[in-house]
Amino acid sequence: MLFQVEMTVKLPPDMAPERAAEIKAREKDYAQELQRSGKWRHLWRVAGSYSNVSVFDVADNAELQELVSNLPLFPYMEIRVKPLCRHPSSIRDDDS
What phi and psi, each to the nearest 5 degrees, are found at residue 42?
-135, 145
Rounded CA separation 37/10 (Å):
27
> In this complex, which beta carbon is closest to ligand MUC, that of residue 64 or of residue 73?
73
Q: Which of 9, 58, 64, 68 binds ligand MUC (CB under 6 A)?
A: 9
84 beta partners: 2
Helix (H) or strand (E) holding 66: helix 61-69
Question: Which range binds ligand MUC by CB under 6 A, 27-35, 55-63, 79-87, 88-96?
Answer: 27-35
28-67 positions binding ligand MUC, by CB under 6 A: 28, 31, 52
Spatial contact of 55 and 5, defined as CB atoms under 8 Å apart:
yes
Does the footprint of ligand MUC cover residue 23 (CB under 6 A)? no
The residue ranges that bind ligand MUC (CB under 6 A) are 7, 9, 27-28, 31, 52, 73
